[in-house]
Every structure is written in C-alpha cells, then in structure tokens.
Structure 1
Amino acid sequence: MFPCSVTAPYKDCQAIMKVLLLKDAKEDDCGQDPYIRELGLYGLEATLIPVLSFEFLSLPSFSEKLSHPEDYGGLIFTSPRAVEAAQLCLEKNNKTEVWERSLKEKWNAKSVYVVGNATASLVSKIGLDTEGETCGNAEKLAEYICSRESSALPLLFPCGNLKREILPKALKDKGIAMESVTVYQTIPHPGIQGNLNSYYSQQGVPASITFFSPSGLTYSLKHIQELSGDNIDQIKAAAALSSVVNTSGGSSSNSLNGWETEAPRTGQRRLSVNLLLAAGQELGLGLRWFLPTPFSRVPCPPRSLRTL
C-alpha cells in the first residue's frame, strides 16, 4: 500500500486537487510528514510514494577503516546514509564495545565534518562531536575544511555512488588529502510499480506530480507514463527539494506562505534544482522549481509530462 493521504478544508478550493509526491514520508514533531500537513491545509489531497531505496556496500572495508583512526586526519559525513553505514559497521561487526571504550574517543580527538543538521544529529548519536554542519553545502564545507585542516593524514569520506565531485575536487585543489569509500548506492524502490498501480487504481490520474531527485525522476517516469496513458497531458510536472520543508515543522529560509517561481538563492539549492531540471530536460520534461503551497498562487503552472 502507498502511504495514506490527507486533506483539510480550504474555503477557496472549488474541488480537491490530488497531488502525488514521489518521496519517502518523514515525520515531524507532530508525527506527520510536513508536506502532507502543509498541502492538506489548503485542501490538497497529497500522497507520498517512495521511489528510491539504498543498498549498503563495502561495509567490511569501511569497518576496517573505522577501526584505525590513527591512519586518518578526520571524518567527513555529507549524508545520513553514510552515517547509517557507520552504525551498521558497529552493529554487524561487534565493534560497539571497542567503539565506546576507545575508538570513539580517538575519532573525537580529530575533526568530524558534516553537512546539515540532520546528518549532524545522526553523527552525534554514535558519540562523535561534529563541526561544519551550518555550512549548508559541500562547497562551503570545503572552504571551512580548507581553513582549518593542516593534518598530512587523509580525511576519511564515506559516500554514495552518486556523490558529486565538488568536495573532493576542492580539497584536492588545496592539497588536502582525502580517502573516499563508497558505502551505499541508490537504487529504485522495489515497490515503485506496485504503489503507483495502487494509487492510479484508487485515486485516478493526479493533477500534479512532484519529483524530488534526478534518480527518482528516472526510476518512476516510465511507470507514470504507462499508467497515465492519453491523460498524461493533464498532469503538471514539478521539481521540488526535500529541504524546502524541514522535519521540525518550521519552514526554510524561503516562505511556505506561497509558491516561489525564482531559482533558490543558496548555492546548494540552486545546484540541486539545476541537477533535477537537467535530468528532466534529458527525459523531455519541462520541470519547474517551487515551494509546495498553495497551488492557487502559481502564476504559470509547470508544463505537462508529455515527452518530446
């Protein structure tokens, strides 16, 4: 079954608009996904369907590296999945005791750099002290690291198979050694087709579909086209960022009181949006960046899902 949807009364809505969000559900302090809550406040029936899944890789190798902090100048975590890989290494290899007894303290004697508060929160749960979480993106984190790092030892960087080269290149240009280890890969969610089939059979063709990543777009588009058939022109395709609404229930630096049609101002968001829009262009889509509420204030709707 696909995740449940929710609506809330909104006096200006003439009819309920069904919105399909291709992302995992993330609960906030109220126990509800913030996208579902915010869109529901405007009478929009939003449904979440996950389209991405992850496989962990090279955990024995990563575990071995974590066991030898003396070989590294510090750690870099830029995604929650990388932290989860570290947690799995501690659990699967019975390293929890030695981690608590000595390894954690040795790593904390070095710098542990992170991007974002969500990643920092997970890193703190395994007992490591973080820095750099307020940098906001890889480019700024690279500047932060370069301004502080003087160790001749490499920084250990667990990452995914789709990592961008911004951080590695920036550090390399400054002569700072870094050792990358791919600890997870992004794959299609095994339930994409079944969940989309269930949605279309129960809800019909949605008015709008929102894509949150280039990979999610690639993995789901074919199924959406097949299920929509001749009604594909009725669907408005949109590109969004999962960071637009945060899981603490507050809004990001861009207001949630209305749609935004400008590109995001921060470097990380602009880069993320450009990657998603580029992926859409390659697949023949005209995608539009937006904030998620309300639909009634979009001056110019995104183009349909019809391919070129």
Structure 2
Amino acid sequence: MHVLLLKEPRDGESGPDPYIKELASYGHKATLIPVLTFKFVSLNTLSDTLFRPEKYGGLVFTSPRAVDAVKMCLEDEKIRKVKNLGLNPLGEDTGTAEVLSRVIIEREDTNIPPLFFPCGSIKREVLPTALRDNGVPLETLTVYQTVEHPDLEKNLKNYFTEQGTPASIAFFSPSGVKFCLEVVQRLSGEELCQIKFGAIGPTTEATMTAEGLHVSCVAEKPTAEHLAAAIAKALQ
C-alpha cells in the first residue's frame, strides 16, 4: 500500500530514509514530501552564549535543528579548534516535552545556574512552564524559524495526481498538520475518511485530533521502527 510521509529527508545519511526502509519491510511503498524549511537566526548571540559556559547549568535540546544551530556556531573557522559538540545527552529516549521535563526536574537542583534552551520559533511552552513551575531556572533563545516549504502544495498535488489517495498519511509535527491539512483534505475529497492517519507522537496526535482528524495510529516512540509498526498494524 502507498504511505505518504509528511517530513523532511534525514540529513547527512546515505541510502534510503529509515522510515521508507522500515515501511518497505512491511511491504508498503512510502514517499516523503518535505513540509517545512528552516532559517537560522540569532547565531551571533548563540555563539556568545556557548562560550560563556560558566553562566549555565546545562543545555536542553528538543529538536535536531537546534543541534544544527549549535554545530554551525562551533564550526565557525575562528573557533573550530576550540571545542566539538561531542555531548553525552540524557533523556534522549523520552520522546515528549512532558517526559523530558520530568527527567530534568528529578535530576536538577533548583539552586543551579539556568539551563540554556536553544529552540525554534514554533514551540509549545510545556517544557519551559514545567521547569519554571518547579523552580528549575531556564533561559531560552530562538535560533531557527520554521516556515512552510515553498513547494509543498505543488508536491502534494503531483503526488495525488500520479499515485492517487494514499492508504495512510503520517504527520511528524504540529507545524506539519498546520501547513498540510487543508491541502490534503481538498485533494483527497470524499476519500479522506478512508485514509489511516498516523502521528509520530502524542503532541502531533493532539493537534490532529483538535483539527477533527481521526488518528488511526501513534508511534510508541518517535522512531522509524515504531512508526512503521504502528502504520502496518493500522493497515492490516
């Protein structure tokens, strides 16, 4: 069956995207359509912050793009030799802001320098609110802006024209739901109710539900393996 994945290809990886590979193992043909594009901002401020580590109790990452922004600063020609990112993260398997915030709250003393949170322009306030409510100091900085991919509607129209309505569509972020849903509804028409909609996690699921979609499956963890298993089960 045909599965439409509304996500960007993995950066810097050779071979097929892991989501396409995992779905193929179940006999399904997956197609990626990029939904978002990113613009990095405030990199000078970010560089200044990174080289004042004594002011902060740690770094908090919740997106690959924030990691990319930090890498860009550390790979600047003038400071390349100073340090490498080489971090040993905690909480990488948490999957949601709610769970990650609990990990941080349980681990950190409130009497520490503020944690530094480089983030995107579109974010939920779950983690910052939870940390502040529990006395864990936090400083945030927007280091990238999320906007709709310029070719999104054209690519979606081409997909539906060439391959028809897919058996399943997976969303990977609330932003993806915001930018894609109206076009998907228009292109699928009366066949919308036949599509099995999948979500990468509970946050995306909540956004889909709020928009009136019936969510057929949610990945147990935000990985290609878990999402593919969930979609395959829904398509049985």
TM-score (ref. length: structure 1): 0.62
Unpaired stretches in structure 2, ≥5 consecutive residues: 219-229
1:159 to 96, 119, 132: 119
User: How far is the alpha carbon of 1:195 from its aligned partner?
Assistant: 1.4
State how far apart, in whole Å, the 2-side matches of 1:173 and 1:90 are.
32
Q: In structure 2, what is the equivalent of residue 69 of structure 1?
A: 53
Say which SS state the counterpart of residue 96 (structure 1) adopts: coil
State how far apart, in whole Å, the 2-side matches of 1:237 and 1:59 are.
40
User: How far is the alpha carbon of 1:235 from its aligned partner?
Assistant: 4.2
The aligned amino acid for 2:204 is L
Say which SS state the counterpart of residue 217 (structure 2) adopts: coil
- Are 2:24 and 1:40 equivalent residues in the alignment? yes
The aligned amino acid for 2:148 is P
- Are 2:111 and 1:127 equivalent residues in the alignment? no
Percentage identity across paired residues of the two chains: 46
Aligned residues of 2:74 and 2:85 also touching (Cα < 8 A): no
State how far apart, in whole Å, the 2-side matches of 1:233 and 1:131 are.
40
Higher mean alpha-carbon deviation, 232-241 vs 195-204, is at: 232-241
Q: In structure 2, what is the equivalent of residue 269 of structure 1?
A: none
State how far apart, in whole Å, the 2-side matches of 1:54 and 1:27 are.
13
Mapping for residues 282-301 of structure 1, pairs under 5 Å? 282-290=210-218, 291-294=230-233, 296-297=235-236
2:146 to 176, 186, 199: 186
Aligned residues of 2:56 and 2:113 also touching (Cα < 8 A): yes
Aligned residues of 2:198 and 2:217 also touching (Cα < 8 A): yes
Note closer, same or farther for the CA distance 1:93–1:61 as it changes in structure 2 (3 Å cut).
farther
Aligned residues of 1:209 and 1:235 also touching (Cα < 8 A): no
Q: In structure 2, what is the equivalent of residue 171 of structure 1?
A: 131
Aligned residues of 1:212 and 1:276 also touching (Cα < 8 A): yes
Q: In structure 2, what is the equivalent of residue 60 of structure 1?
A: 44
- Are 2:136 and 1:203 equivalent residues in the alignment? no
Aligned residues of 2:216 and 2:234 also touching (Cα < 8 A): no
Note closer, same or farther for the CA distance 1:148–1:32 as it changes in structure 2 (3 Å cut).
same
State how far apart, in whole Å, the 1-side matches of 2:217 and 2:60 are.
30
- Are 2:199 and 1:240 equivalent residues in the alignment? yes
Aligned residues of 1:28 and 1:34 also touching (Cα < 8 A): no
User: How far is the alpha carbon of 1:296 from its aligned partner?
Assistant: 4.7
The aligned amino acid for 2:197 is A
Say which SS state the counterpart of residue 133 (structure 1) adopts: coil
Note closer, same or farther for the CA distance 1:205–1:149 as it changes in structure 2 (3 Å cut).
closer
The aligned amino acid for 2:122 is L
Note closer, same or farther for the CA distance 1:38–1:145 as it changes in structure 2 (3 Å cut).
closer
User: How far is the alpha carbon of 1:40 from its aligned partner?
Assistant: 2.6
Say which SS state the counterpart of residue 159 (structure 1) adopts: strand
TM-score (ref. length: structure 2): 0.79
Structure number with larger C-alpha Rg: 1
Aligned residues: 224
The aligned amino acid for 1:283 is E
The aligned amino acid for 1:162 is I
1:227 to 183, 187, 192: 187
